[in-house]
Amino acid sequence: MKYKIIVAFVFTALWISTAFAENGPSVTVNCAQGQSLNGALSKLPKLLPVTVFVKGTCTEYVSINGFTGLTLKGLPGAALQQPSTSPGNGAPVYVLLIQSSQSITVDGFAVHSGSSALGGIAIGRNSIDVQLRNLSMDGGASFQFFIYEESQVSLARVTANNLGYAILGAFDVSDVHIESSLFDGGIAGIVAGTGHVTIQTTTIRNMATGISVVNHGEVDIQSFNSYYPLSLPTDVAIDNVSHRAVEMIGGAHFNLGDTNLRITNAGRPWDSGSAAIWITDASSLTDFNGHLSISGSRGQGILVSNNSHATFTGSSITGGSHGGLVVTNLSSASIGSGNQTLFGGNATDVFCDSRSLITGSANLAGAPVLNCSNLLFGDTEPLP
């Protein structure tokens, strides 16, 4: 009773309507009537679970700093709109900024950003268990989602496009889970730079680059049930990218677990530097269980270069305008035993230069077109 009296006293000072939800108090902010979401947040207790229901379009820079257990729930038609004027403090601009917070949920909003914004939604300073749900993101921000400084975020049922650079960026050892989402249109879909991203049940399409993994970043194509019961199929699809569906640069890692990755119509036919998958500068790709399928590449299928490595078991790369598997400049590829790996119908199915190596040709399906002098039948040279 004492708790309810204290919270009721706090909320009676607000001009917003209040009620008690099942897991704590709730308030309603009606931006269509000139109410301010920031104004409401500034009066809420930060360490108690509170649900804020939002009506209308809130045209303001919203900040969530130091909260625990806060839920922002957009009612039908709710939106966050970047103001036409800058905050004026010289700091990076975000429509919604979440910092130093935990167990935060943002659900049911359209978020509209401008070209001056670094992020539509930014999450940083070790924010943990931030759940983004049922969002529609558009506009010109550099990133629709900008995740940094060891933060942990889950995206589900999100649709996004971007007139800026990338839809999602994960940096500074942050960890992001993406599921049941559609990223459609922009320069890049996902940038994992020193961050870790796990993806299932998601489509990325109509971009220059689908997924860019750089500077020791890591991406896993893997199912998970951390937030919702697992629903099959969990496939990830990348379609109609003009340059590279996936690129790995600078010690990056890309792993296919138990989930299919289907790449179609990637690259440009006149550009031998475009590819469905581009692996370079001491990076690596693994597909141990035949979950990678590439078809109809207009550029290379997979290019492995500059001291990089790729492992395939049961993968399929077919119908490409250039090479299927191309290994160059002190790089290597391993064709594992078990399910046969298919390189077929490409201009050249398997290619390596004189300083690179491909092992496991015994595990290739069909009769691929080969151009590789360093192609071993097994995993190694004959051992003593």
Which CATH number goes with the domain that contains 97? 2.160.20.20
Q: How far apart are CA 74 and CA 90, in angstroms?
A: 29
pLDDT digits (tens, 9 = 90+) for 318-373: 999 999 999 999 999 999 998 899 999 999 999 999 999 999 999 999 989 999 99
Is residue 131 within 8 Å of 105, Cβ to Cβ? yes
**In the predicted structure, residue 14 carries a pLDDT above the cut 60:** no
Share of the chain above pLDDT 70, in %: 94
Rg (CA), the chain: 24
- Specify the DSSP class assigned to residue 23: T
Tokens found for residue 65: 């700093």
Q: Is 3 inside a domain boundary?
A: no
Q: Is 248 inside a domain boundary?
A: yes
- Specify the DSSP class assigned to residue 33: G
Q: How far apart are CA 338 and CA 289, in angstroms?
A: 9
The three-state secondary structure class of 6 is: helix
Place of tokens 């039908």: 76
Q: How far apart are CA 323 and CA 349, in angstroms?
A: 5
How high does pLDDT run on average in the chain?
93
Tokens found for residue 49: 């679970």
pLDDT digits (tens, 9 = 90+) for 132-153: 999 999 999 999 999 999 999 9
Q: Output the pLDDT for position 380.
A: 83
Q: What are phi and psi of 15, to 5 degrees?
A: -95, 15
Percent of the chain that is helix, strand, coil (3-state, to 5): 5, 50, 40
Q: What are phi and psi of 90, to 5 degrees?
A: 80, -5
216 in the Ramachandran plot: left (φ > 0), alpha (ψ -120 to 50) or beta?
A: left
Q: How far apart are CA 25 and CA 4, in angstroms?
A: 9
Place of tokens 């209040």: 18
Tokens found for residue 313: 């078991």
Tokens found for residue 90: 């010289």
The boundaries of the domain holding residue 145 are 26-371
Q: Is 68 inside a domain boundary?
A: yes
Residue 382: band (very low, low, confident or very high) from pLDDT cuts 50, 70, 90: confident
pLDDT digits (tens, 9 = 90+) for 72-109: 999 999 999 999 998 877 889 999 999 999 999 999 99
- Could you give the number of structural domains in the chain? 1
At 12, which amino acid appears? Answer: T
**In the predicted structure, residue 55 carries a pLDDT above the cut 60:** yes
Residues 6+ apart with CB under 8 A from 326: 300, 301, 302, 303, 304, 348, 351, 352
Predicted TM-score (pTM) of the model is 0.93
**In the predicted structure, residue 314 carries a pLDDT above the cut 60:** yes
Q: Output the pLDDT for position 9.
A: 37
Tokens found for residue 255: 């792993």
Q: Output the pLDDT for position 86.
A: 87
Q: Is 164 inside a domain boundary?
A: yes
Q: How far apart are CA 166 and CA 187, in angstroms?
A: 6
**In the predicted structure, residue 264 carries a pLDDT above the cut 60:** yes
Is residue 263 within 8 Å of 246, Cβ to Cβ? yes
**In the predicted structure, residue 200 carries a pLDDT above the cut 70:** yes
Q: Output the pLDDT for position 271.
A: 87
262 in the Ramachandran plot: left (φ > 0), alpha (ψ -120 to 50) or beta?
A: beta
Q: Output the pLDDT for position 3.
A: 38
Residue 383: band (very low, low, confident or very high) from pLDDT cuts 50, 70, 90: confident
Q: Output the pLDDT for position 22.
A: 53
Q: Is 95 inside a domain boundary?
A: yes
pLDDT digits (tens, 9 = 90+) for 157-171: 999 999 999 999 999
Q: How far apart are CA 32 and CA 75, in angstroms?
A: 12
Q: How far apart are CA 384 and CA 375, in angstroms?
A: 20
Q: Is 1 inside a domain boundary?
A: no
Q: What angle do CA 109, 110, 115 make, to 5 degrees?
A: 135
* 303 vs 379, higher pLDDT: 303
Residue 23: band (very low, low, confident or very high) from pLDDT cuts 50, 70, 90: low
Q: Output the pLDDT for position 215.
A: 96
pLDDT digits (tens, 9 = 90+) for 223-235: 999 999 998 999 9
Residue 381: band (very low, low, confident or very high) from pLDDT cuts 50, 70, 90: confident
Q: Is 10 inside a domain boundary?
A: no
Q: Is 379 inside a domain boundary?
A: no
